[in-house]
Amino acid sequence: MPGLKPSLLRWIAPLFLLFGLLTDPLAAQDTPPETPPAPAERTFDQKIDDAFAPYTDAISKVVFFTVWKGEVAGAKLEVPFVLLWLAGAAVFLTLYFRFINLRAFGLALRTVRGKYSRADDPGEITHFQALSAAVSGTVGLGNIAGVAIAISMGGPGAAFWMVVMGLCGMTTKFAECTLGVKYRHIDKDGKVHGGGMLYLTRGFAERGMGPLGKTLAVFFGICCVGASFGGGNMYQINQAASQLVNVTGGPETWLGENRWIIGLGVAIFVGLVIIGGITRIGGLTAKLVPAMTVLYLLGCFVVLGTHADKILPTFGLILSKAFTGEAAAGGLVGTLLMGVRRAAFSNEAGIGSAPIAHAAAKTRYAASEGLVALLEPFVDTVIICTMTALVVIVTGDYMHRGDDGITITSDSFASVVPWFAYVLSAAVVLFALSTLITWSYYGLQAWKFLFGKSTKADVSFKLLFCVVIVIGAAMSPGKVIDFSDAMLFSMAFANLIGVYTLLPVVKRELMMFYAFTKRVDGGESIEVADAHVRSSFPAEEHHHHHHAD
C-alpha cells in the first residue's frame, strides 16, 4: 500500500499541534500569578522539561478521559475509559476463546520449539526469535519499575490484579498476533510489514469496510509513532537515567543535574544499532533478553532467600489486600486500576505493538504465532512481575511512596546485597536498551505506513527517535510516565476495534492450525498435513491479499 501523500503530511503535523493547544488553552491563564521565586539558573534538564510538559499533559488528559468519577471509601477516584476497554477486552476474549490461554499452553511451547514449522516457511525470523524480540519490547522497566509504582500507589493487592490481567491478556495477545501474521505483507526483498495498520486496512477491506479501516489504521499509526517516543523511549531512558544517577551519588551530583548527557550516550549507541534493521535486532535481543531475565530473576531469588520466612505471609498479604485494599489508596478500585494500568503497560496486551514483531515470524499458519505470542504476557506479567512484587513487599520498600519506581526496587535489592544495586543498574540499562531498540522498529513500521517506505522517511524517523532519547533522559519522571501511558494506551482504541471486528478470522485460523497440529502430532509430515488442511478448509473468496499487493 502506498504511504500517505506528502500533502497529507502538511496538515497532519499542524493538526497535532493545534490539538495540543486546543485541549488546554485555559489552564495556562487561570492560575493566579504567584510571587516569582528568586530566579535560580535553570539547568538544561529543567529547560527541556519546561518546553515539553504542556504537550505531554494535554495528551494524557485526552487519552485518560474519565467514564466514572466518585468516592470510594472516602478517596476520590477516576476511572479512565481506556482501562475498562483493555481489561474488558482481555476478559471477553478469554471467555470467547474458552480459556485458550490455559488450554493451549503446551501446544504453544511445542510451537516455539519449532515442531510445526520449517526453515523455509515464509517470514524473516524463527518463532523463538519473534517471541524474544516481542518479549524484549515488553520485559523492561514496566516489570521492574512499573510493579513498584503500582504497589507503592495501590498497595500490595495491585500485584494480584496485575497477574490476573496478565493471564487474561494472554488471550488478547493471541488474537492480535494471529491477525498480525494473517494480514502481513511480505515485499519482494522478503521484508515483512505487519501490525495493526495492516489488519485494519486489509482485514476491513475484505469485509467491505475499507474506508473505516483506513481511517482507523492512520489513527493507529499516529498513536504508534507517539508510543514509540513515549513508552518505548522516554520512559525507558528516563528510568534508566534515574537508576544511573542513583548509583553514582544521587540527584545532587553533576550527572544528576545533567541527565541529558546519559541520554546522549544512549542515543548514539541506539542510533548505531537501529540503522541495522530487524534481523540485527532479532539477533541481539535473542541473546540479551534471556540473559537479562535470568540475571534479574537470580537477583530476586537471592533477596527472597534471605527473607524466606516472609514469603508465604507476603502471598497472604497480596491476596487479602487484593479484595479489601486500603482506604487511603481508594480501596479496591484504586488497587484494581493501578494493577490494570501497570499490567497493560508491562505486557502491552491489546495495544497492538507486539503483532508488529510477531508478523515477521516464519510460519504458514497465522494462529501458530498467535499461540507463541500468548506465552509473552505469561513470562512478562505472571513470572517476572510476581517476582518483583514479592521482592518489593518482602523488604518493605514499597512503603516509600514518593520515590521513582526504579529507586524502590533498587533499594529492595540493595537492602540484601549492597552491590546488587549495580547488578540491577546493568539489568535496567540492558532492559531499557532492548526495549528502545524493539520499539524503534515498531515506530518505524508505523511511520513508513504513514509516510511511505522511502529512505528519507526511514532516516528521518531514526534521527527523531534518537533526539527523543535525549529529551526523555532530561524530563521529570511523573510527566514522562503520564505521557508514556497515554500514547501507549491510545493505540488500544483502534487496535481492539480491529480485533473485535476480525474475530471470525482469528477463530478460523485457530481451527486450521489445530487441525494441522493434530495431523503432525499423529505422525504425518509437515507437507502432507499442510496439504490436507489446506484442501479441507476452502480458500476464502479474497485470497489475493496473501500475495504481493
Q: pLDDT tens-digit profile of 411-445?
A: 888 888 788 878 788 888 888 888 888 889 889 98
pLDDT score recorded for residue 20: 37
Q: Are 140 and 236 in contact (CB under 8 A)?
A: yes
pLDDT score recorded for residue 329: 46
Segment 180-195 mean pLDDT? 87
Q: Are 485 and 61 in contact (CB under 8 A)?
A: no
User: Which triple of cell numbers denotes residue 408?
Assistant: 524502590
Q: Is the per-residue pLDDT at 265 higher than 50?
A: yes
Segment 519-530 mean pLDDT? 86
Matching residue, cell 489552564: 27
Q: Is the per-residue pLDDT at 382 higher than 80?
A: yes
Q: pLDDT tens-digit profile of 479-501?
A: 787 888 888 889 999 999 999 99
Of 258, 160, 230, 256, residue with least CA distance to 484 = 230
pLDDT score recorded for residue 6: 44
Q: Is the per-residue pLDDT at 261 higher than 60?
A: yes
The neighbouring-strand residues paired with 185 are 193
Rounded Cα gap, residues 105 and 112, in angstroms: 11
Q: Is the per-residue pLDDT at 18 higher than 60?
A: no
pLDDT score recorded for residue 332: 65
User: Which triple of cell numbers denotes residue 497?
Assistant: 476495534
Residue 195 CB contacts under 8 Å (≥ 6 apart), including other chains:
180, 224, 352, 353, 355, 356, 359, 442, 445, 446, 449
Lowest average pLDDT, out of 73-77, 250-254, 324-328, goes to 324-328
pLDDT score recorded for residue 239: 83
Segment 75-103 mean pLDDT? 86
pLDDT score recorded for residue 271: 86
| Dihedral angle sign, alpha carbons of residues 432, 387, 349, 399 | negative
Matching residue, cell 551530583: 253
Rounded Cα gap, residues 442 and 463, in angstroms: 15
The angle formed by the CA atoms of residues 19, 25 and 26, to the nearest 5 degrees, is 150
- The residue with greater pLDDT, 23 or 63, is 63
Q: What is the DSSP letter of 531?
A: H
Long-range contacts of 254-257 (CB under 8 A, 24+ apart): 257/43, 257/45
Q: pLDDT tens-digit profile of 148-174?
A: 878 877 778 888 888 888 899 899 999
Segment 84-95 mean pLDDT? 91
pLDDT score recorded for residue 497: 94
Of 414, 505, 474, 422, residue with least CA distance to 200 = 505
Domains within the chain, CATH numbers bracketed = 63-504 (1.20.1740.10)
Q: Is the per-residue pLDDT at 72 higher than 60?
A: no
| Ramachandran angles phi, psi of 79, nearest 5° | -105, 110
Q: Is the per-residue pLDDT at 25 higher than 60?
A: no
The neighbouring-strand residues paired with 79 are 68
Q: Are 389 and 159 in contact (CB under 8 A)?
A: yes
Which helix or strand (DSSP H or E) is residue 44 part of? helix 44-63
520 three-class SS: helix
Burial class, 522, CB count within 10 angstroms (exposed 0-12 / middle 13-18 / buried 19+): exposed
pLDDT score recorded for residue 27: 33
Q: Is the per-residue pLDDT at 204 higher than 80?
A: yes
Q: Is the per-residue pLDDT at 2 higher than 60?
A: no
Rounded Cα gap, residues 338 and 161, in angstroms: 8
- Could you count the other beta carbons within 10 Å of the beta carbon of residue 453? 16
Segment 121-127 mean pLDDT? 84
Lowest average pLDDT, out of 5-14, 63-72, 517-526, 529-538, goes to 5-14
Segment 47-59 mean pLDDT? 77
pLDDT score recorded for residue 379: 85
Q: What is the DSSP letter of 35?
A: P
Which helix or strand (DSSP H or E) is residue 67 part of? strand 66-72
pTM of the model: 0.80
Rg, C-alpha atoms of the chain: 23
Banded model confidence at residue 70, pLDDT cuts 50, 70, 90: low
pLDDT score recorded for residue 30: 35
